[in-house]
Structure formats: C-alpha cells, structure tokens
Structure 1
Amino acid sequence: MMIFVVLILVMVPQLKCKSKCKISNPLPSFHKYYVSGELTIGGIISQAHILSNTFSFENCPSQDVFDDVVILSQNYQHILAMAFAVKEINENPEILPNITLGFHIYNSHFSASWTYLASMDLLSTRGRFIPNYKCDIQDKLAAVIGGPNSDVCLHMATMLCMYKIPQFTYGSAPVMNNKTQAVFFQRMFPNEIHQYEGIIQLLLHFKWTWIGVICHDDENAERFVQNVLPRFSQHGICFAFIERFLKLSFSAENPNRINEQFESYERVVKNTARVLVIYGETETLIMLRMLLRMSEIDESPQKEIGKVWVMTGQMDFTSIPFQRIWDIDFMHGSLCFVSQKKELVGLQTFIQMKNPILEKEDGFIKDFWEQVFSCLIPNSTVEKTEESCTGEEKLGTLPGSVFEMSTTAHSYSIYNAIYAVAHALHVMHTSKLNHRAMTDERRQELLNLQPWQLLKVLRSISFNNSAGEGLSFDQNGELVTGFDIINWVTFPNQSFLRVKVGRIGAKSLPGKVFTIWDDDIVWPNWFNQSQPISLCNEHCCLGYRKAKKEGMPYCCYDCLPCPAEKISNHTDMDECFQCPEDQYSNSDHDACIPKKISFLSYEEPLGRSLTIFSLSLSFITALVFWTFIKHQDTPIVKANNRDLTYILLISLLLCFLCTFLFIGQPQKVLCLFRQTAFGVIFSVAVSCVLAKTILVVLAFMSTKPGSKMKKWVGKQLAITIVVSCSFIQVTIGTLWLATSPPFPDFVMNATVEEIIFQCNEGSAAMFFCVLGFLGLLSIVSFTVAFLARKLPDSFNEAKFITFSMLVFCSVWLTFVPSYLSTKGKFMVAVEIFSIIASSAGLLFCIFSPKCYIILLKPELNNKGQLIRRKNKSI
C-alpha cells in the first residue's frame, strides 16, 4: 500500500522567454513511487506532496514564459532531504510496516498561478487534470509540505484547506486572515515572535541602537514594518532608514525601477548605520547580490560598505547560476537566525551517492548536474564530448556557495515534517490494527481514511528523529523549538562556514532564552575584528548629558556638559543628577566626592594661630594680674578701686580662655554654654570698666566743697554696677537656654566641598540680644569715659578707658557684618578674633600705662607724687 507526500518549493526558470506556450504536462518532473512487496489488512494508500520551485516544463501558464529550467542549486538539497527521509522510513520496519511512503515534488516558480496549478493537480486523478475528480484508491494524499516562501503556503492553502488536507510549512509561516485555514497548518519554522525578540536582544547586547532595515516591497514586509519594528523602538532602537526592494522577478522590469533600486542601495551604503537588519525570504539574497554587483561595476569610490548584516531565519543563501563566480565576501561576518537543527546522519553519504547517469527517477538531477558542473549529460541524441559529464563528479567538491553538503535548516525542517507525517500515520495505523479481526467493511473504512483525521494526531504527536532530537507541536501547530544564531565565515574559494555563536530557546522550554558567545564571532574585515559600533553619534561621555536634536530620531542627540553641582556617571545619560548632600561633584562632573567635615580644629593653621594668641594673651593677663597683686599697696593700684581692677583682670583672663570653647569639634555641652559664657564674662568685664569710669566721675565730683556725692563713692556702688549688669546678661542667657538652646549641627549645603560642623545657635535673636546688651554697656562706658577723660587726676583712667572702649566698639561693630558674611569655621574664627582683639584692647589700653609706671617708673608710684600732681592741676 502506498502513501504519498507532496513537496511544493521554489526554483527559478532561466531568463529566456518564449512567445507562446501551452501546458504540456502539469505533473511534477520528480516523482518517485516506492511499492511494498505485499499488501496487508489495514493498509492505507496516501500521498504527501511538496510544492517547490523545481518544476521542469516546456511551457508556462502565464505571460512571463521561459524556456529551459534553471534550478536553484542550494534548494536541491531540500529535495534530497525529502527523498532521504522517505527512504529511511520505507526501510525502517518499525514505522508503517507493509506500507510504502511516496512523494511528488512541484515547482511554484515564485508564481501564484503555478502554485494554484499544482494544488489543483493534487485534487485530480493522477495523469488527468480534472480538479475535484479523484478516484485513485492507491494514491491517497496524506499531507502537503510547502515553502520556503510564505507565499507558496498561502496560495496552496486557498485550495487545500477546503479539503481539510494537513499542510506543513518549512519556511516562514504565512499570515492567515482566515482562521479556518490556519487550523490545517503545521509550522516546522519556529514562532517568528521569538526570532524578533532575539534580534532585539542581540542589538541591545552589542548596544546597536542605530540600524537600517531592508525588506521587500510586499505585504509580508509591510506587516513586519507596521507590527514588528515598533517593538524595536520600544527598546530604544531607532532606524536610520527603512528601504524596500523589489521582489525577484523574471519579467522585463521598467529601467526606471531598476535605477530607483540602485539609488536606494547607494543610500544604504553611504548611511552611518553599521548594522542592517534584512527581512526577506529565499530570493532576497539573489536581489541583494545583484545590487552589490551593480555597485562594483559602477565607478563609485566606496567599495567597502562596512556593514554587519543581521538576517532573519526566513532567508537562506541562494543564488542563480550566473552569480556563481561572484564574490561572497559581503556575507563575511554576517549574523543570521536559523531554526535550530542538527546534522542528519547519513544524509551526506546519500548525497554523495547521487549519479546523474544512474538516476532514472530524479527529474531534477540532470539539469542540476549540468548547471553546477558546467557539463552536458550525454544521451541518445547527444554524443560524448570533452564537455560531457562523466558521472564521476562529486558534489562534495563544489563550493558552499553552489551546493552545501551539511544539513541546512530548511532541509532539516523538511526531514522532520516527513517523519511527523510518518509517525502520525503509524499511530493511526497501529490503533486500527489493535482492534479485533476486521471485516471487509472495516478494511474499506481504512482505505477511505480522510486527511483531516490525520490532523488531530499530528497536533499531539511527539517523537525523536534519527538525529536524537525530540520533536513536538503546541496547540497552534507550531514546532516547539528555537533559533540558532549563525555567524558566516567566507573564504576566497567561494566556500563558507556557518558557525553557531548563540541561540534563542523557545519560551515554553526551560533554560535561558537568549545566549550569545561574543568571543566566537568573526566580524567583517572592515572592522579589523573589533566589535562594530552602530550609533547615530558618539556616546555622551561621563560628565555630559543627552540633548535631543530637533528633527532627528531620538537616537540622535547632542552632548551637553552637566551644570554645576550635578554629575553623570554613565554614558548617554538623559539627565545629570544631583550628588547626595554629603557629597559634591568633581571638576569633570562624572563622580561624587565625599565632602570633608569642616570645623575649626587645633590641627589646622588658623586654629593653631588663634590658640597661640589666646594662650599668649592669657599669660600676659596673668602676669599683669600677678604684678598688680605684688604691688597692691602702691597708690596706682589702689587708685580707681583695686577690687574692680582684680575683677576686670580675671574677667579678661576668662575672656581669652573662653576662646577654647569655640575651637575643636562641636559638642553638645560646649555648644550649650559657649555663647552664654562669652556673654556673661564680657558683661562682667565691660561692667567693670563702666563701674571704674563712673567711680572716676563720682570721685571728682565728691572733691567739690559741699558735694553729697562722697557717700556714693565706694566698693558697694562698684559691686552693684557689676552685679546688676551681669545679672541682666545671665537672665538673657537663661532665657536663651530655656527657649531655644544651641546644639551641634551639620550644614550640608553651605559650601560646595565641605560639610560644616558647627554649633547652631538655636535662636539668632537671642544671640544678637546678648551682643546688643554688650554693645549697650560698651557705648555707655565709652560715653561716660569720653566725658571724664579730662578730669584732673594723676591716675585718671578715663582717657585710657575711652580709647579702650573705642577699640572695643570698633571691633564689635565690624564683627557683625563680618560674622554674617562668613560661613563655617571662618564664622567661628571671626568671633574668636573679635573676642581676642576686644579683650586685648581693654588689657593694653587700660593696664599698659599702669604697668609702665609700676615696672619702669616706680618713682611716680607714690602718694607725694599723687598730691603734687593734684596741686598742679588745681
């Protein structure tokens, strides 16, 4: 019993037209029948056909009429893969025992009319072209395999789906607008969505965001542009161009269209995009090679195009005979997606055994052999000559650009399609045989097996092929498999290698979906084996941000430096960003540097200098105090209230020492008391000066006859003035600490490179209240002293106090603007300097004249001198 499978594929007729023609033989030129030795019960006769482009004919069904057949030599392996699979199945007793599998092959000639013709022939009785009339009991059609172009499958589906015949596509799957037609398709080509996602992952992996797209000018390409390319844009990939080329045709084209195609090709070559995604099918490379050839003939100076081609899995390397001598270096370094495949054991041996002289049933081998070996096969009408084929030629000696010996992806898909049909038929056959002894009616039922019954089994079939790969289909009839990423490596002898450099696994299968081995990739020679860069412009370096170019795609941009205090630490950043508060931007604006914590420390020169000045003046103050203690009984010490002098010297000593509350790392206790301590101590000092000035005035007024001021002159008044003034300052300080006490604080943004660690005063108003009260005391003291500066007295301090308070007021008046205009440790340094300067002014202006007399002019330090000076004054 015999079962047939049909193959419809694509081959090309020679460019030689006839004026008239008629269909002389619509049957395929390559048909083979394998007949078993005996028939058994339950035997099924069926047929599997492949629609292809290998049809040999004398005449043609359209106006574009050609003479002799020209075979696409690379597609001849598709035919041999089918014959090899059928041969293996028929020789395997475990699959379809006592049933023979046969096949027919049809050529679609890139033509819808030829595909329709072949489809209708399948629905006719063998040898009689009467569609819808078929009475072959021993010639049952099981399935049809179509490809590699999607058009072949789409056109044959129009006829065959009405009869519910299972159909396989081994190339790209057509888009079925009719959902009913899609039900009868089994796809040996993986889901194209996975391929497009893989291309996106490949582009992103190599950071190719500026690409060109080449596709045919047909409906499939339009769907690709409208539905698929937006996904690329969603991942940040934009297009330098989208060029459409005419599909391959063997009718006379308008010369203007040819010129347009060449102009499009020139735009592709000269564009800055280094990566081209090519969407096409079998004939795409034929057309592209023609354009490449035209560019070589043209006098254009640009010969090296410097492009990386990324080709979809629907394409395969094909060429027509006159392209055989053309260079294939353009393919070197290209990346191609192909459906995953394994090498078929025994296929190369099967191919090597082919001999055109011995083969009688192969209707293609004669034309194929003559074309690839450039010889003539002798027959009864052709005598042997030097140009005759010997039959000893070996296909393995042909370069890969003419014929490949290794299994191609399309051949592997055809092989698996044949096995899928065989295993499905085997399941159906064995299920029937498992029943009890069958009657003649049952046997007739098996002979009347309908093709649609096979479809249900095909959807659930699962098996291992001879290469050891497990195969199964999903609920949509798609083969559960993925894609391999192939790197083309060409050689000067027109041969090439397909090197597997990655894979895209099916999402339904476990494991990593996208894998790439960068080190295994060979890049085009133009790039000198360095990874190509395909960008609209150079990357924006660190420290720069992208700025959109008006009128250009978003992949094209200018690079602008980051503004002050912002950085970009990655290439091609959309925006610069602010550093954290505790960091600042470096000069290149590409990194954040931790800020230094800044405070007035003893280790730095400024802190060290202020410390030395403070200690020195403290020591001087102590010496003065010791001098006054030592000479406490002398008139100059007793004059103007000795106790006030001691209190003033002690307060000045404390003023110098309180500067140490401001130097060093701020701490909670120090911050809490340093300003209040400063205010109270200075209030005591200034109140002492005020008291001494008032006492001078009162002492002079008490010397007048009948003056009642004498009772006010004494220690009690001085102590009252000092205590009262100090109490007011203590009260202000207490309110300050109670309401808004100072505390240690980090000021992040006061300066660019530093974090200021300082004492936050808590309340600026209270701080200036302390200063304001000190200012009030100093102004009063200055005023009183200024009025009393000319009073007659040998030891009148008023004029010295006047000068000292002038210095004191000058220091603190300049302190306020200086303090407000500085930050951080310099603000603290200004306050320390003001403390030291004002204290030193009081110390030197008041006590230096007295020390001069005590130490250097002791003869003036006596009571007689005091009386004599008074008399002179009177």
Structure 2
Amino acid sequence: MGLRASSSSTISCARPVENITGFLSHPGDIIIGGTFMVHFDRVSSGLDFKSQPQELHCGMFIIEYFQNMHALIFAVEEINSNPELLPNITLGYQVFDTCFTSREAAKGTLLMLSGGNDIIPNYRCRTGARLAGIIGDSWSTGSIIMAQILGLFRYPQISYFATSPVLNDRDLFPSFFRTISNDEYQMRGLAQLIFHFGWTWVGLLADDDDYGQHGLQMVKKELINGGTCVAFTEYILTGQADRDAPRLVQILRKSTALVVIVISSNFVVVVEELLKQNVTGYIYIATEAWATLDLLSTQRYQGILTGTIGLAVHNGLMPNFSKYLRNLHPSKYLHDQFILDFWEQAFACKWLSDENSMWTDNVTIKACTENENLQSLLIEDYQRASLNVHTAVYAIAWALHSMSNCKPGTGPFSGGSCANISSFQAWQLLHYIKNVNFRTKDGSQVFFDAKGNPPAIYDVVNWHLGVKGTAEHITVGTYDLSAPDGKILNVDSKKFVWINGDTQVPVSKCSPNCSPGFRKVIITGKPPCCYECARCPQGQISNQTDAVECHPCSWDSWPNLQQDRCLSRTTEFLSYEDPLGLSLTCTTIFSSLIPLVILRVFTWFKKTPIVKANNFSLSCLLLLSLFLCFLCSLGFIGYPQPEKCLLRQVAFGMVFALCISCVLAKTLTVVIAFNATKPGSRLRKWTGVKVSYPLILICALIQLFVCVMWLFIIPPFPEIDTDTKPGVIIVNCNEGSPTAFWCMLGYLGLLATISFIVAFLARRLPDSFNEAKFITFSMLAFLSVWVSFIPAYLSARGMYTVAMEVFAILSSTWAVVGCIFVPKCYIILFRPNMNTRVHLLGKSRGQK
C-alpha cells in the first residue's frame, strides 16, 4: 500500500487521538526528519485499561542528547548557507523526542510520514515540501521499528547511534544506513582490548534488548574463541524501574572477576545501585553507548568508574558548532521546550510559573532569569555522536545534490532519466544515498558499504579523574579496521590510569598465576581459566607465566634449578685446555722425543759392536715406530672431528702393529742368529733381512686389512652423548663397530703374546748376542698395560675413557722403550768399555 499525497488542500484528515509532544520543525523546500533521545527516562502509570491511558511523560533531560538534536539543526543551517551545496534549495527539518521508547520512535516516524501535523498512517496530508529521509534513531530497538516502517516505502533512514548487526539485513531493512559502525566490529574490538591486557576472567552485563542481547552473544563468542573465560552473563531488565540492579550488584560482589564488559544504554541505574551499596574496585569496559556519556562523568560516580576503558565513537571536528550552541537562548526560541529544559539543566535553575515557586520542601531553587551566560560552558568543536548526526545530514544533502545535478539522458533510471528534485520519489533518493561518497571538514571519507555501514573506526578512551572531580575521557588509542599498517588496535599503554589512579594493569584471573617452572593443570568441572599449578617434569621448562605445557630443552641445553630457563650444557671431551688433556699432551710430546734421541745415539754410534750386534736397521725402524706410537696418542686429544674419529684408532692400530712386528722380528732374528752359528745349521740362509722385513710386512698387512675392512663397513664417527651425564654433553668418537675395534686390539695382543713367548723361550741365549730378556720384560709390561686397560676402558665415561686409552698408549710404548733401548743407551753412553768387540766376544767365550 503506497503513501498517497493529497491532491487537494481540502482533503479532511482525522485528528489523532493523542497529543503530539516533543516535536520541533522548520519549513523548507525539502524536509529532513530526525528522532532523538533528548530525554533518557520516562514516567508512566500502570495500564489497567479501566480508564483512558495517560500520556507518557519524559524525564531526565540529557544535554549530550540535546546537542545531538541540534547537530541536525546546525547542519541544515550550515548547508542552507553554503552556495555550493544544494543552491536554490532550502532544507527544512522536523525533529522528534523519542524519550528512549519504542512507542515514541514509531509515533515520530508516522508523524513525519504523515506530513508533520497529524498521525495518519499511509497518508500524507500536506502538499509542498517533501520528506527526504529520517536521521535516527539513537538506539537499535527504536531504529529497527523505524526501519521496518520506512523500509515499506523505501524512505532513506540514517541512524547515528544504532549499532545492532540485525540492521545489516538488506532484505528486512532495505533503506537503512548508519554513520556508526555496527556491533560486529565493536564487539570484536572489546574482545581485542581484553586480550591486549591479558584478562582471562571477565563478566558480561548487557541490556535485554536487541542491542544488548546481540552484542553480548558476539563478544562472548569472541572471548571464548580467544581463550578468555566468562565469569557470569547477566541482563539489565529495561522493563523494570530499578533495572534489576540490586540483584546484579550482588552477583558482581560474589564474582572474582575484576573486569566487567557492559553493553548497555541503562547502566546509570546500575551505577546508582553500586554507589548505594559502595561496591568499588572493578574495571568496566564500555561500549560506545556510554563510553563518553556525560551523565556518568559527574563527580558522584568517579569512585566507581575511574579507570573505565571503552570504545567510543571516533572524535571529529565540527567547526563553529560550539559557537552555535553558545548562541542558543530562550529569547530566540520562545516556544521551544527543549531550550527551556536545556537552560534548567545547564545552569541548575528552574523557570518560575504559577505552578511552582522558589520553595520546594524547604529547599531553595535557583530561578532561571535568561541572563545566564552560555559562554561559560565548556563546549568543544570536537564531537562524537553529534558528528555522526552532522555526517548523516550531509549524506542526504550530497545525495540530493547529486540528484539535482543529474542531466537527462545520463541519469541512473530507466532510459537514462533523472529524478525531479521537486517531486522525487523516496526510492530515487535511496539510489543516490547508496552511492554517496564525500569528505567531511576534518578530512574523513564518508561512504556506505553494501550493508549500509560506514568505515569502522573507534577511539579507545580511558576515564581519568579530572581536576574538578569529574571524569575526563582521554583518548588513549584507536581501533581502526582500515588501518594502513594492518595494526587494527593501537593503544598507548603509558596513558592508562586504573582504579585509584594506579598505573599498573590490574589482574583479572580465576586462578593465581603459575610461575615459570610450572604448568597449568585444568580442574575437572571448571572453566579452562580455573586451574592448578604443577611443577614441570625433569628435563623440561616453562619460561612464561601461566604456561599451558612445559617444553624440553634443546639437545645442547639443560634446565636450571628453577626450571624456568635452559642453560647451555657443559661440553666434555679431552681438551688441550683441560689440565688432564694438557698434561697428557706435554707427556706425549716429551715422550715422542725420546725415540728420536735414541735414534740419534744409535746413528752416532752405529759403528760400535753393541749397535751392530742388535741389527741397526731394524732398531731404527723400531724407534721410528715407537716415535709414531707416542705421537698417535695426540689424535685422541682435542675435539673429536670426523676425520680424527675416522683415523685415530686406525693410526693407533697400524703403528702399534708395526712396533710389535719389529719387536717380534728382532726376537726371531736373535734366535735365528744364535742357532745359525751351530755347525751344519740350516738357518744360516735365513739370517740378515730375509726373515725380519717380510715378517714385519706380513704382520702389518694383516692389521691393515682389518682396519680397511673396518673403515669400509662401519667406520668410526663423532657422537654426542646427552644421556650419560645430566647437564653435560659428552662429545666422543663412536667406534662404529665394536667388533672391529676389539679385533684390532686383539691382534695387537696376539703379536705381543707371540713376541713374549718367543723372547721367553730365548731368554737363556748368551746375553752378549741377544735381547731376549729385555724383550720378554717389555712384552710382559705391554700385555699387562692393555689387559688392565680393558676393564678400565669399559667402566670409564666421557673424557676419562679417552684418557685411559692415551695413558695405555703412553705406558705400553714406554715399556718397550725402557726395556729394550734404555739399557743399550746406558752402555753406549756411560759404559763404553763394555761396548767393544773384545768384551762381547770374551764374554761369549767365557760362557762356553
């Protein structure tokens, strides 16, 4: 059913049954309507329908909401004085006080649709100025009712404070727009504030209307998804006079949550109850509905609300608006009840009339005189909700401007037609509002998305206690979903002030913090934020407060005693810097010089009988092998590099095989040489080098074969042992194949055993011609060292395993040097009289 314009001024319309109050209008070529919650509360009697219901009486005049209404009037006057915007067109306005009731919001809508005089549903009983659209309402429930009515006829509606996401539905509300972001973004922002301060235990308090119910569900979902627990969820019953505040305050008292998110336009009643019961010490998180509300910013409430933080409508510049407000005066608006109420509220006075006097209940009331000066009131050009109203008016004005500038043939309608600015239809203007795009005077870009929402941006405000005891809403950050750097929430933590002026962020947790070194253990049947603390298992740490789980240290580190950090493990190996390693290194270097010194002595005295008698060339080879035996122990000292691990045991095995082979060859040479002197002996042909060198070569090749097979099949490699000693990394060489290692060592034992047996059997040969006794002692010492080495090697750990092998190498090599060569050097150097052929031969004959 369409809205019908009157074709004649003689059409008779029925008068409304009820009176129209709280209505203000000004004529113009095109009318912009507006609904405002100038009065916050209402006074109504019970409805028993036994008599005619009384008219609703509004109470509690709010200056801030009055400013919002005058932001529309100011914007209309500003546009009318602008020659570049809507030239030759004068805008008028009709504004209506909804008194924070759905009924009044619907009444105001129908009144403006009916022409502004009477409420005649579905009829417009006045010709002339057309209604362009309506700015309002200031709350979601009222806006939804208005949108359902206005959407039927496609009249544009732009709300400046309705945030419910329900209004995003373009099928239900096709003509609804708003200049404030919807609650989907705001509730996400509130949750981000909670996460930013690390609060995990919060309460939720909301109005039981569309705004509160939807907002509570959205923020609760965001909080739970982010790991925060909800201590309680309660609704403020807007249908009750006391809003159920006494019960709500008791719930707040019993809760351990210190942070409460309040999604409400009725919180003032609850705050009054908090004040009555002296309940303080809580941090309230405010939505835009009350984040900067002057009604709650008075000195009376600051013991309760100081430290409040919230998301507020983005602050913007409205030049000359403060000047406009200061120029308001009752003498200019003789029949404007809003101005009179504003005057009483601003100057705490009363207009005198026959119904009242200056004395009421023995309390003197100051009389209003019209001489009060508005210049003394602090009114800033930076506004929040008023700026949204101002922007909404300009959105309609720019849409009308685009419509008026349309050129036939290029228009957006059928056949390129344009709408007539003097007789346009509501749906035609709706097209232009959807596509409006302009900049405000403070440089902000204004446009609407597909759901009628503007760009989402909020100010983060913190309530500080001002010098006069009232609250100062200090902007401490922004929540901007279109931030160019991607940092949506941007706050300055240094600017925050909390309860009692404290600068430390309060803690709101169900359970006390678990210190580093502990982890949280969830208690069955309680929310995840309620937990106990348990010590981390051995070898694991937690380095943060309230750790969910403990983490093992990396392989090269170990927990400290508090188990809150990992310390670097001590790396253990036989180092040159270590006292043990250094002493073994010095001993090795010194010991390696002894065979060279002896070799030099033998070379110098090689013409002497004792050197000749002991096979000079074989002795030199043995001394060189002993020199290498001493040096090979250096391969066991220092950090186990891969090359060192690969070669050190092989080098040890080969040089010792060469050494013992030389000893065996010397023993056999002595035996053969002695027996070859007997008449008819067949051993004469085996004297000289025919036996010794092939024997040495064969014995060395056998050991070489074992070592090569070892290197090819399972070669040694560096190994890091983190299990043997807690907190210590043992770096050693894994022998790869223990079988190959013991085969190599066993072969050396076999050679040494054969040498010992042969030398033992030849011990009674003439002393002047053989070394059998000395070789016997040397092999006995050699075998003793290595037999003792086996259990010590198997029981030692870390660098001591390596030290044991180095000690065995040095000891066994010294046994050979000491037993075989030291006696000869003694004779050569200190008993030269015994180093003669005569002495040797004589001694020999004496034995015979």
Query: What TM-score do you get using the length of structure 2 for normalisation?
Result: 0.79
Residue in structure 2 matched with residue 6 of structure 1 by the alignment? none
Shift of 1:680: 4.0
Q: 1:141 is matched with which residue: 131, 134, 153?
A: 131
* 1:543-597 Cα distance to aligned partner (Å, 9 max, x none): 766665655555566666766766667766656666666x434747777777898
Q: How many equivalent pairs are there?
A: 808
In 1, the alpha carbon distance for the partners of 2:263 and 2:30 equals: 41
- Decide which of 232, 244, 247 is 1:260's aligned counterpart: 247
Name the counterpart of 1:71.
61
Partner of residue 48, structure 1: 33
Does the CA contact (< 8 Å) of 2:242 and 2:269 recur in 1?
no
CA distance in 2, matches of 1:141, 1:696: 134
In 2: Cα distance, 1:533 partner to 1:59 partner: 43
C-alpha displacement of 1:128:
4.1
Structure 1 residue 291 and structure 2 residue 288: aligned? no
Which residue does the alignment assign to 1:154? 144
Report the counterpart of residue 409 of structure 1 in structure 2. Answer: 384
- The answer on whether the counterparts of 1:243 and 1:264 sit within 8 Å (CA) in structure 2 is no
Instruction: Choose the corresponding residue for 1:165, options 155, 168, 186.
Output: 155
Deviation digits for residues 44-94 of structure 1 (CA, Å, limit 9, x no counterpart): 554524253549999779569776633234322222222322333444455
> Contact 1:378–1:389 at 8 Å: present in 2 too?
yes
Q: Are residue 229 (structure 1) and residue 213 (structure 2) matched?
A: no
Counterpart contact for 2:184–2:218, Cα < 8 Å: no
2:263 matched residue in structure 1? 279
In the alignment, the residues of structure 1 paired with residue 649 and residue 484 of structure 2 have an alpha-carbon distance, to the nearest angstrom, of: 73
Work out whether 1:117 is the aligned partner of 2:102.
no
1:305 aligns with 2:292: no
Q: Are 1:839 and 2:803 counterparts?
A: no
Pair 1:109–1:766, CA change in 2 (3 A):
same
Picking from 449, 469, 489, the partner of 1:474 is: 449
Distance across 1 between alignment mates of 2:31 and 2:643 = 103
Amino acid at match of 1:346: N
Letter in 1 for 2:691: T
- Structure 1 stretches lacking a partner, 5+ long: 1-22, 36-43, 297-302, 436-441
Separation in 1, partners of 2:43, 2:271: 29
Structural mapping, 1:187-202, within 5 Å: 187-202=178-193
2:30 is aligned with 1:27: no
Q: Find the partner of 2:398 among 404, 423, 426.
A: 423
Contact persistence 2:44–2:57 (CA under 8 A)? yes
Q: Is the 8 A contact 2:105 2:137 kept in 1?
A: no
Does the alignment pair 1:392 with 2:371? yes
Q: 1:418 offset after TM fit, Å?
A: 2.4
Task: Give the deviation of 1:292 after TM superposition.
Answer: 2.2
Letter in 2 for 1:419: Y
| AA partner of residue 287 (structure 1) | V
| Contact map agreement 1:601 1:663 (CA 8 A) in 2 | yes
Report the Cα distance in structure 2 between the residues aligned to 1:55 and 1:202, rounded to whole angstroms.
29
Deviation, structure 1 residue 539: 6.8
DSSP-derived class of the 1:327 partner: helix
Match of 1:488 among 463, 468, 472: 463
Aligned partner of 2:236 in structure 1 is 246
**How does 1:736-775 map onto structure 2 within 5 Å?**
736-737=707-708, 740=711, 746-749=718-721, 765-775=739-749
Q: Per the alignment, do residues 865 and 805 of structure 1 end up closer, same or farther by CA in structure 2, a change over 3 Å counting?
A: same
Letter in 2 for 1:50: T
Q: Deviations over 1:347-385 (max 9, x none)?
A: 222222333455323122333433454432123555678
**Alpha-carbon distance between aligned partners in 2 of 1:597 and 1:656, rounded to the nearest angstrom:** 27
Helix, strand or coil for the counterpart of 2:699? helix
| Change over 3 Å in CA distance of 1:67–1:54 after alignment to 2 | closer
1:18 equivalent in structure 2 = none
The 1:852/1:716 distance shift into structure 2, 3 A limit, reads: same
2:455 equivalent to 1:455: no
Alpha-carbon distance change, 131 to 739 in structure 1, aligned in 2, over 3 angstroms: same
Return the alpha-carbon distance in structure 1 between the equivalents of residues 335 and 375 of structure 2: 22
The question of whether the paired residues in 2 share the 8 Å contact of 1:166 and 1:451 is answered with yes
- C-alpha distance in structure 1 between counterparts of 2:641 and 2:405, whole Å: 94
- Contact 1:72 / 1:318 at 8 angstroms: preserved in 2? no
Question: Per the alignment, do residues 143 and 634 of structure 1 end up closer, same or farther by CA in structure 2, a change over 3 Å counting?
Answer: closer
> How big is the shift at 1:641?
7.0
Structure 2 CA distance for partners of 1:451 and 1:587, relative to 1, 3 Å: same
1:728 is aligned to 2:699? yes
Amino acid paired to 1:523: V
TM-fit CA distance, 1:125: 6.0
Amino acid at match of 2:498: P
Quick one: distance in 1 between partners of 2:721 and 2:834? Answer: 63
How far apart in 1 are the matches of 2:420 and 2:672? 145
Q: Which amino acid aligns with 1:277?
A: I
Distance 1:712 1:567, change over 3 A: farther
Matches of residues 325-336 of structure 1 in structure 2 within 5 Å? 326-336=300-310
Closer/same/farther in 2, CA of residues 621 and 445 from structure 1, 3 Å limit: closer
Q: 1:669 to 1:523 in 2, by over 3 A?
A: closer
Q: CA contact under 8 A between 2:163 and 2:211: conserved in structure 1? A: no
What pairs with 1:85-124 in structure 2 (closer than 5 Å)?
85-92=75-82, 94-96=84-86, 99-124=89-114
Secondary structure of the residue that 1:113 maps to in structure 2?
helix
| TM-score between the two structures when normalised by the length of structure 1 | 0.77
2 CA distance for matches of 1:841 and 1:357?
126
**What amino acid sits opposite 1:493 in the alignment?**
K
1:652 Cα deviation from its structure 2 partner = 3.4
How many angstroms apart in 1 are the aligned matches of 2:215 and 2:585?
80
Secondary structure (helix, strand or coil) at the match of 1:326 reads helix
**AA of the residue aligned to 1:149:** W
State how far apart, in whole Å, the 2-side matches of 1:100 and 1:79 are: 19
The alpha carbon displacement at 1:189 in A equals 0.9
CA, structure 1 residues 414+783, in 2 after alignment: closer, same or farther (shift >3 Å)?
Answer: same
**Structure 1 residues 637-646 or 488-497, which shifts more?**
637-646
Cα distance in 2 between the residues matched to 1:333 and 1:806: 90
CA pair 59-122 structure 1, distance change in 2 beyond 3 A: farther
Q: What is the SS of the residue equivalent to 1:364?
A: helix
1:584 paired with 2:577, answer no
Does the 8 Å contact 2:40/2:60 carry over to 1? no
Q: 1:387 to 1:604 in 2, by over 3 A?
A: closer
1:694-732 Cα offsets, whole Å, 9 max, x none, are 6777799899xxx99944378638862663254233243
| 1:41 aligned residue | none
CA distance in 2, matches of 1:677, 1:506: 71
Match of 1:613 in 2: 587
90-99 vs 162-171, greater mean Cα deviation: 90-99
**Secondary structure in structure 2 of the residue aligned to 1:263:** helix
- Mapped partners of 1:238, 1:836: distance in 2: 69
Measure the CA separation in 2 of the matches of 1:217 and 1:128. Answer: 33
CA distance in 1, matches of 2:133, 2:825: 127
- The code of the aligned residue for 1:263 comes to Q
| CA distance, structure 2, for counterparts of residue 648 and residue 58 of structure 1 | 121
Task: State the alpha-carbon separation in 2 of the partners of residues 574 and 250 from structure 1.
Answer: 44
Label 1:139 to 1:379 Cα distance change in 2 as closer, same or farther (>3 A): farther
**SS in structure 2 opposite 1:361?**
coil
| SS, match of residue 485 in structure 1 | strand
Which aligned pairs between 1:841-860 and structure 2 lie closer than 5 A? 841-846=815-820, 855=830
Match of 2:172 among 153, 162, 181: 181
C-alpha distance in 1 between matches for 2:44 and 2:307: 42
Q: 8 Å contact 1:687–1:722 — kept in the other structure?
A: no
Aligned 8 A contact 2:326 2:374 in 1: yes
Q: Distance in 2 between matches of 1:351 and 1:97?
A: 25
The verdict on how the C-alpha distance between 1:850 and 1:560 changes in structure 2, with shifts beyond 3 A counting, is farther
- Superposition CA RMSD, Å: 4.8
Paired residue for 2:324, among 334, 350, 360? 350
Indicate how the Cα distance of structure 1 residues 428 and 807 shifts in structure 2: closer, same or farther if over 3 A, else same. Answer: same
| One-letter code aligned to 2:780 | L
